[in-house]
């Protein structure tokens, strides 16, 4: 081989080596100088984990700030299956007695109240997070944390708690597993109660441990707003207990109570029988999970006579002393025949006496003195046939048809509370209007909300509407006092020490066979009659027997009204009730 060929033979490998070095060197320069920042960012991203910091749901409180619903701190516990392998269990002398998942499960099982075999199986694998238990209290988590087991990690969360059990459960409502409101104020104030979640971003190592010197960014969660209700928790409890007892005593299907503060529309209590426990709502029948006082309309019966009498007084076609001949059966000019509840001899009564007796035949005579449109318009102004706007889901409008749609019989039955329907909330609002000098104020159950900065936002209210003259409203109350007096249908609704103006109601309900063997009893009124502060409405649905309102509903009215007056510090009545003649010639 020539010297030239030999030199070429030695240079070729050198050139090849230099070429390879140049390629790798160029690649290295490209990676470090050009792609370096992007690769580093990608590596950090791969190591970065972001977790959500759950915002606590806002509280729901009563008028005194007592908690009705709140969120409490809870912990879910998970395991990093890679890190738990490092665990060593030691005895008092420091000797290792066990290692890894099996030993960790042995230590954790009694604290979590779980089977150690199931725990051990959940800890075996290659995942960086597997749930072991959920909903631990802070105290329980501290016990778990004190074990010092590597890879056992907490996830902070919240749970909804209702400390008063069933009290106001029909108003508060409840939340589902995802924390979303499903009923009551939990549903209607979902947006306000829901806070804004925060986040925690950290860098982790290959085995899932947090890198202390790595990225650590925290965005705090913002709690939801506090909802301030108008409810008085203690009065709510009294109302629920009383209506539950009435339903039990009379074998009724359900019952409800509404307590409204006159002049403000504030609902102090809104109680339903068999009220749901929000913390155990799955155990309640679906029909018991809301408020029938708001959502279930019924024929008001004789409490529906109040607008008829008020319309005649307002129009001047009758006054408290106007005299009517009152038989037990009466046929009107259009051929429709009506009966009083029980047979009786023909009476001669004043308008006041007719209301005390709750006579149907007298009522149709009184109602016939004003036009159908006049009566209808007054009932609408009282709030019948329309939602009150109460801050609860599922409110019913009730049923009140235009007078053009009334048939020859309905035009009369609407005079005494049949052929129409109302909710208990609407009916209670009506008597509250009478007690407020004829000014109707929309009922409300939320005072306002407070945000995380402590700023209180009051619930928007509309000005009251004068639907009846103060004179007519005052006269109606004086006449309604006769209902509670001796000889009236509502004597069992009297409240010792206070003057009460009220009206009883009884309505027939169709039974399974299509007959009218079932009844509904109701009672609405205000007190003290000389200066009304509180309106109370009670309904007991489908009780056994006759179920007259003065029998099944009046005792609950008396108990709840008495509790409300005492709670508000209203002094007993000091003036005697006015004397209105019940029949001609009475002094």
* Token output for 435: 């007690």
Q: Is residue 2 part of a domain?
A: no
| pLDDT tier for residue 46 given thresholds of 50, 70 and 90 | low
Q: Report d(CA 444, CA 231) in Å as an integer.
A: 10
Question: pLDDT tier at 490 (50, 70, 90 boundaries)?
Answer: very high
Q: Which helix (H) or strand (E) holds 201?
A: strand 198-203
Assess contact for 240 and 275: CB atoms under 8 A.
yes
Q: Alpha helices, DSSP H only, in 443-548? A: 470-484
- Asked if residue 338 belongs to a domain, the reply is yes
- Model confidence at 227: pLDDT above 60: yes
CA distance 425 to 432: 10
pLDDT above 70: percentage of residues in the chain: 88
Give the domain CATH number at 336: 3.40.710.10
The confidence score (pLDDT) of residue 25 equals 58
Question: pLDDT, tens digit, for every residue of 336-377?
Answer: 999 998 999 999 999 999 999 999 999 999 999 999 999 999
How many domains does one find in the chain? Answer: 1
162 has pLDDT over 70: yes
Q: Which residues participate in catalysis according to the annotation?
A: 302
Residue 542: inside a domain:
no
pLDDT tens-place string over residues 291-336: 999 999 999 999 999 999 999 999 999 999 999 999 999 999 999 9
- What percent helix, strand, coil does the chain show, rounded to 5? 35, 25, 40
pLDDT value at residue 93? 86
Residue 211, domain member (yes or no): no
Is the pLDDT at 45 greater than 70? The verdict is: no
pLDDT confidence tier of residue 157, bands split at 50, 70 and 90: confident
Residue 437 has a pLDDT of: 98
Q: Is residue 198 part of a domain?
A: no
Question: Is 358 among the domain residues?
Answer: yes
- Output the pLDDT for position 16: 65
Residue 250 has pLDDT above 60, yes or no: yes
pLDDT attached to residue 223: 84
Confidence of residue 31 (pLDDT cuts 50, 70, 90): very low
Place of tokens 């075996």: 124
Top mean-pLDDT range of 147-161, 168-182, 195-209: 168-182
Q: What is the mean pLDDT of residues 467-483?
A: 98
Q: Does a structural domain hold residue 74?
A: no
Query: Containing domain of residue 331, as a range?
Result: 297-439+463-521
* pLDDT of amino acid 39: 47
Residue 41 falls inside a structural domain: no
């Amino acid at each position: 081989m020539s010297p030239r060929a030999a030199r070429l033979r030695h240079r070729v490998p050198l050139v090849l080596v230099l070429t390879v070095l140049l390629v790798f060197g160029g690649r290295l320069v490209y990676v470090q100088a050009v792609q370096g920042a992007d690769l580093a960012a990608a590596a950090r991203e791969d190591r970065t984990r972001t977790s959500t910091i759950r915002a606590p749901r806002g509280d729901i409180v009563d008028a005194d700030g007592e908690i009705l619903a709140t969120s409490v701190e809870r912990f879910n516990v998970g395991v990093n299956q890679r890190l738990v392998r490092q665990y060593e269990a030691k005895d008092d002398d420091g000797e290792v007695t066990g290692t890894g998942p099996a030993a960790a499960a042995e230590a954790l099982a009694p604290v979590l109240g779980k089977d150690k075999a199931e725990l051990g199986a959940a800890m075996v694998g290659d995942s960086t997070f597997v749930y072991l238990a959920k909903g631990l209290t802070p105290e329980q988590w501290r016990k778990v944390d004190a074990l010092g087991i590597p890879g056992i990690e907490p996830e902070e969360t919240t749970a909804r708690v209702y400390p008063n059990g069933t009290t106001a459960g029909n108003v508060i409502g409840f939340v589902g597993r995802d924390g979303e409101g499903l009923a009551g104020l939990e549903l209607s104030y979902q947006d306000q109660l829901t806070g804004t979640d925060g986040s925690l971003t950290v860098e982790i190592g290959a085995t899932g441990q947090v890198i202390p010197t790595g990225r650590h960014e925290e965005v705090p969660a913002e709690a939801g707003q506090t909802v301030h209700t108008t409810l008085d928790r203690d009065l709510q409890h009294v109302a629920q207990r009383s209506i539950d007892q009435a339903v039990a005593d009379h074998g009724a299907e359900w019952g409800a109570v509404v307590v409204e503060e006159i002049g403000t529309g504030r609902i102090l209590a809104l109680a339903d029988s068999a009220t749901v426990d929000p913390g155990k709502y799955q155990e309640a029948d679906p029909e018991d999970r809301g408020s029938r006082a708001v959502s279930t309309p019924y024929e008001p019966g004789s409490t529906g006579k109040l607008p008829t009498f008020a319309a005649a007084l307002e129009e001047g076609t009758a006054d408290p002393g106007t005299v009517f001949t009152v038989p037990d059966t009466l046929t009107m000019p259009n051929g429709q025949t009506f009966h009083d509840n029980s047979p009786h001899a023909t009476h001669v009564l004043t308008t006041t006496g007719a209301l005390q007796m709750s006579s149907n035949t007298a009522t149709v005579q009184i109602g016939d003195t004003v036009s159908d449109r006049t009566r209808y318009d007054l009932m609408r102004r009282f709030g019948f046939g329309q939602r009150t706007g109460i801050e609860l889901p599922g409110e019913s409008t009730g049923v009140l048809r235009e007078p053009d749609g009334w048939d020859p019989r309905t035009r009369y039955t609407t005079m005494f509370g049949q052929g129409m329907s109302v909710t208990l909330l609407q009916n209670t609002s009506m008597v509250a209007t009478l007690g407020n000098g004829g000014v109707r104020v929309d009922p409300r159950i939320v005072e306002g909300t407070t945000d995380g900065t402590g700023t209180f936002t009051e619930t928007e209210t509309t000005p009251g509407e004068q639907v009846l003259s103060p004179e007519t409203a005052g006269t109606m109350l004086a006449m309604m006092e006769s209902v509670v007096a001796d000889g009236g249908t509502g004597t069992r609704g009297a409240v010792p020490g206070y003057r009460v103006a009220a009206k009883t109601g009884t309505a027939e309900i169709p039974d399974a066979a299509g007959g009218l063997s079932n009844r509904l009893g109701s009672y609405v009124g205000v007190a003290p009659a000389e200066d009304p502060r509180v309106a109370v409405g009670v309904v007991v649905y489908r009780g056994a027997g006759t179920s007259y309102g003065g029998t099944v509903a009046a005792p609950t009215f008396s108990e709840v009204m008495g509790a409300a007056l005492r709670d508000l510090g209203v002094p007993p009545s000091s003036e005697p009730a006015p004397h209105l003649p019940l029949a001609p010639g009475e002094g």
